Amino acid sequence: MTSPLTFAVPKGRILDEALPVMARAGVVPVPAFHDKKDRSLSFACENEDMRLIRVRAFDVATFVAHGAAQMGIVGSDVIEEFDYSDLYAPVDLDIGHCHLAVAEPKDGASNSNGASHLRVATKYPNLTRRYFEDQGIQAECVKLNGAMELAPSLGLAGRIVDLVSTGATMKQNGLVETAKIIDISARLIVNRAALKTDPRVAALVETFRANAEADAA
């Protein structure tokens, strides 16, 4: 008997936008998935040939890259941060739009024009280092998984690199955006080996792609 396909989805901001896109492609979780009191991580789908796992965004990429899940949805920020060779992102789903940006205190307390070294708080150390290297600056990255906006006021780092959607959180914490690093949207991701060996994966990729192209037309 063929094992069900495992489809990984991220907790958080992308999921609400992803669910209608998934439904159009036939990936529909059972009602328990929508119960906010349910702490399960794995759920059946209406299509018995599939199951969903709901994990952190960075873990979506890890599960798919290592073949524990065959497919998933994640922001392009995660793909760019890890650059897994076994990960393929064939479809831009045109949802989950935001951007990755540099921000610092609006009073200019971290002003360091011409500096060759900066300390930056971020969840994206690889993207951050690459961006500042292109500016001729060595970035010492302090890895944080949340509450990034506190870092400058508490002296942990002079700048932060974080996702920006409306910018309201940064503004409320006395920060201003000073540079955009990349624009971000959600992507369908697949495990390369699964794409080659399981026709169900290839068929589902084509369904997502056709739907995305129809929406863009």
The residue behind tokens 């650059």 is 83
- What CATH number corresponds to the domain at position 28? 3.40.190.10
Coil, strand or helix at 110: coil
Same domain for 9 and 91? yes
Residue 114's pLDDT is: 61
The residue behind tokens 């951050």 is 128
Per DSSP bridges, beta strands 186-191 and 71-75 are antiparallel
Of 7, 53, 18, 11, nearest in space to 146 by CA? 11
Residue 67 CB coordination number (10 Å): 13
Range of the domain at 144: 98-184
Strands, sheet with 186-191, edge to edge from the N-terminal-most edge strand: 42-44, 50-55, 5-10, 71-75, 186-191, 87-92
| Domain tally, the chain | 2
Same domain for 87 and 71? yes
Buried b / exposed e along 145-179 (16+ C-beta atoms within 10 A):
eeebbebbeeeebbbbbbbbeeeeebeebebebee
DSSP bridge partners of 176? 104
Distance CA 71, CA 33 (A): 18
Same domain for 180 and 105? yes
Residue 180's pLDDT is: 95
In one-letter notation, the amino acid at residue 23 is A
Helix (H) or strand (E) holding 206: helix 199-216
Same domain for 69 and 143? no
Distance CA 51, CA 138 (A): 44
pLDDT averages per 10-residue partition of the chain, 217 residues: 89 91 95 85 92 95 96 96 90 96 81 75 96 94 93 94 90 92 97 96 97 91
Residue 113's pLDDT is: 59
Residue 38's pLDDT is: 83
Same domain for 103 and 156? yes
Same domain for 89 and 10? yes
Same domain for 83 and 113? no
Angle at 113 between CA 109 and CA 116, to 5 degrees: 110
Tokens at 203, concatenated:
């068929």
Residue 112's pLDDT is: 55
Distance CA 78, CA 129 (A): 15
Of 182, 181, 159, 185, nearest in space to 170 by CA? 159
Residue 216's pLDDT is: 87
Distance CA 170, CA 191 (A): 35
Same domain for 83 and 189? yes
Same domain for 128 and 70? no
Same domain for 146 and 209? no
Same domain for 34 and 76? yes
